[in-house]
Amino acid sequence: MSDLLEIEIKDILPSDAVQDCCDLALYHRQETEYLRKIAPVVIESLSDTRLFRMGLPKSLGGWEDTPVETLKVYEHLASAEASAAWIVWNNHLACTFGRFLDETSMREVYKDFTHVYANSARPEGTAQIVPNGYLVSGRWTLVSGCELADWFVLRCLVLSEESPKTLGPSTTLKLFFIPKKEVEIIDTWDVGGLKGTGSHDVVVKEAFVTSQYAVDFDSPVVVDSAYNRLPIGCINAAGCAAMALGVLKAATDDLTDLCLEKVTPGKNPDLRDRATVQSTIAKSRTLLASNRLQLHNSVETLWIEANNKNTFSDKQLADVWAASCSAATDARTMVSEIYAAAGTASLYKKHRIERAHRDVHAILQHGIIQPHWLTQAGMAYVGLKPTAAMFRV
């Protein structure tokens, strides 16, 4: 990759750069909600600060340093607008998949700094082997940010005369990089939580994809860097958890603000005088800080090992999976407690608690932080070998 154009990167941390984006995202929350996709001015800001490219090498405008910074970005952004954080997180995964492309293909896919990326790791399409490539067809659900995307990374079952025609242990799966001109969007995203992610279905009909744009998790990695040595699965889970923590922070801050604002004369107790509210805020702040610390520490451990070119132990990976699942689940439970403690104020959309309650439940529907990952982590802790395909990837 030495011949790639080196990009001048401002000497600023992503977690600092995201602050202006947070302010814009918060100001345009209603527009994002109404459009069912991120407000254009917010997309422009995220693009200008290169937060869509954090998963890329520095030579392509990426971050390529401690992944804890990306967790901070997701949390900060989610505390303002969870849908915006979700799109940034989703782009990180699409850019991470780019590590498996050859140098020429990587340069082509990621050459334009204004581009946005979308992906689906669900193998909901098929790829028929043809000379020099594949014919890709299928319909993928829940493709977040598809209306904004210039490139898609979509997973398919590879078909040939001798290969199985249905998913199973002996099937071949690949990720295909497909430009937006080959993709049709089907409007299906009629939801409550994460409404601004625009996670519609997408359809591809016999699009020819060259072999260079078809990769899998065993494909060679051209850029041998510490960031590209990080595992994809648990780092993705950690990002999802960081967003849940950001939503919890928004709900906690909103309840605190309500207590400070709703101070009335007279003998009747205010919201801040209620013991349930006081204990809820104290509990939430502690839970948020402790989960954040555990999540960051477990990811930082992987970063140190990646820099030293060491192999990650199953227990080190399990620490990230467990921290991610626990943080996300605790956040959801705590947001629900805040929603109840705030009383009727939680019903009104002018308060961030109302949106936080919807968004955190939507975040927790993602497969990357489901309870079975805790079981996988537990297997490592008791000396068994975790069996999930993505545990070590």
pLDDT of residue 210: 98
pLDDT of residue 392: 97
Candidate CATH numbers 3.40.718.10, 2.40.30.10, 3.40.800.20, 2.40.110.10; the one for domain 117-215: 2.40.110.10
User: What are the structural domain ranges in the chain?
Assistant: 14-109, 117-215, 230-381
Q: Which of 202, 216, 217 is nearest to 125 (CA)?
A: 202
DSSP lists the bridge partners of residue 202 as 140, 185
Cβ proximity of 65 and 180 under 8 Å: no
Across the chain, what does the average pLDDT equal? 94
Positive or negative torsion for Cα 240, 74, 243, 317: positive
The pLDDT tens digits for 35-61 are 999 999 999 999 999 999 999 999 999
Question: Looking at domain 230-381, what is its CATH homologous superfamily?
Answer: Butyryl-CoA Dehydrogenase, subunit A, domain 3 (1.20.140.10)
pLDDT of residue 251: 98
Whole-model pTM?
Answer: 0.95
The pLDDT tens digits for 153-200 are 999 999 987 777 787 777 899 999 999 999 999 999 999 999 999 999
Residue 3 has pLDDT above 60, yes or no: no
* Mean pLDDT to the nearest integer, 335-340: 98
pLDDT of residue 8: 43
C-alpha pair distances (Å), 341 with each of 202, 218, 252, 280, 334 = 40, 49, 11, 7, 10
* Mean pLDDT to the nearest integer, 11-15: 87
Instruction: Count Cβ atoms below 10 Å from residue 384 Cβ, excluding itself.
Output: 11
Positive or negative torsion for Cα 342, 351, 89, 37: positive
Candidate CATH numbers 1.10.3720.10, 1.10.540.10, 1.10.10.10, 3.40.50.20; the one for domain 14-109: 1.10.540.10
Q: CA–CA separation, 161 vs 369, rounded Å?
A: 37
pLDDT band, very low/low/confident/very high, at 13 (cuts 50, 70, 90): very high
Residue 2 has pLDDT above 70, yes or no: no
The pLDDT tens digits for 70-80 are 999 999 999 99
pLDDT of residue 33: 96
Q: Which of 318, 335, 145 is nearest to 247 (CA)?
A: 335
* Mean pLDDT to the nearest integer, 228-240: 98
Positive or negative torsion for Cα 246, 84, 7, 231: positive
pLDDT of residue 35: 97
The pLDDT tens digits for 96-137 are 999 999 999 999 999 999 999 999 999 999 999 999 999 999
Which residues contact residue 313 at a Cβ distance below 8 angstroms, ignoring those fewer than 6 apart? none
pLDDT band, very low/low/confident/very high, at 263 (cuts 50, 70, 90): confident
pLDDT of residue 264: 73
SS (H, E, C) 77-117: HHHHCHHHHHHHHHHHHHHHHHHHCCHHHHHHHCCCCCCCE
pLDDT of residue 4: 40
